[in-house]
Amino acid sequence: MTSATDVDGRLTLRDGRTLAWHEWGVPDGIPVLRLQGTPGSRFARYPRPEVWERLGVRVVMADRPGYGASTRLPGRGLADVADDLAELLDHLGLDRVPVAGGSGGGPHVLAMCARHPERVSAATVVVGAAPLTDDDLPSLIGLNADAHRRMRDGGWDALFPLLRDVREKILADPLGGFRDALRDAPPTDQAVMSDPTWQLTLEQNLAEALRPGAEGWCDEALAMFEWDIAPEDVTSHIVWYHSRHDANAPLQAARRVVDRLPSADLHVWEGGHFETYHREEELMRDLLARA
């Protein structure tokens, strides 16, 4: 097995858009498609690369439309991203791969399993975002609650100014801006955000994700507000991990989606949205064991 890879690529999709992708880990290792959270880029790697190297995995990550170096697709849904990722797998010569996604990446895992189940050998959703109701708002951090109200009441025109302002603060000071946006997150998440190792990849990830503007972030938020896939259409078995005290993606919303999936197991941890930082190796080992 050769040494760690660091491949940054571009793919011209069938409709002429550009899809940017990156590979991490071991070049001839087991390929894994990993879908990052929102907002996020292909640089949202796990900050301890030795974990992926030890497991012998080749992790493929891609910018979704409007983030980083991937062309924006106004009005896009979850299904559009799944179709883009299937094209990327074709380009890389990969038939079936294990797929994992956290937070905003979670609904896109489900879209992949609904649109292209033949390409998925195993699927994991971690603290996945799910459609919200007004009853969920008291359990959310302020930014997410405000974003939900704006989407509900005014759609794009109401949401975009909020995300544009948050983007400007994050680009001016990635760590400070991000922590300010999550200032009312639970103590377990605050502890993770204070971890110097966790902070290593934050600046590169967010700077690249938000470099083109806030449009891609707004497109994605609206796509997750009103899904263009139904959980009942997800034919792959889903293993879903969630945190009991998640204030970014509340557990009760996740339960509503899991209850509609034809085949799923839900595992609940204590902790908050960033509990996954402590769980990467066990999550990856479980995914590979099922692939």
Residue 147, both tokens: 């974003």
User: What pLDDT does residue 6 have?
Assistant: 76
The torsion angles phi and psi of 269, rounded to 5 degrees, stand at -100, 165
Tell whether the model's pLDDT for residue 147 goes beyond 80.
yes
User: What pLDDT does residue 148 have?
Assistant: 97
User: What pLDDT does residue 4 have?
Assistant: 56
The torsion angles phi and psi of 31, rounded to 5 degrees, stand at -70, 135
Residue 68 CA to residue 211 CA, distance in Å, equals 6
Q: What CATH number belongs to 5-290? A: 3.40.50.1820
Tell whether the model's pLDDT for residue 55 goes beyond 50.
yes
Helix (H) or strand (E) holding 110: helix 105-115
Quote the percentage of the chain above a pLDDT of 90.
97
Q: What is the pLDDT of residues 166-219, one digit of tens each?
A: 999 999 999 999 999 999 999 999 999 999 999 989 999 999 999 999 999 999
User: What pLDDT does residue 59 have?
Assistant: 97
Q: Among candidates 190, 188, 282, which has minimal Cα distance to 244? A: 188
Tell whether the model's pLDDT for residue 280 goes beyond 80.
yes
Helix (H) or strand (E) holding 284: helix 280-290
Provide the strand spans (E) within the chain.
Answer: 5-12, 18-25, 30-35, 57-62, 97-102, 120-126, 238-243, 264-269
User: What pLDDT does residue 32 have?
Assistant: 98
What average pLDDT score do residues 255-279 get?
97
Average pLDDT of the chain to the nearest whole number: 96
The torsion angles phi and psi of 171, rounded to 5 degrees, stand at -65, -30
Note the pTM of the prediction, 2 decimals: 0.96
Helix (H) or strand (E) holding 112: helix 105-115
Q: What is the pLDDT of residues 117-139, one digit of tens each?
A: 999 999 999 999 999 999 999 99
Tell whether the model's pLDDT for residue 3 goes beyond 90.
no
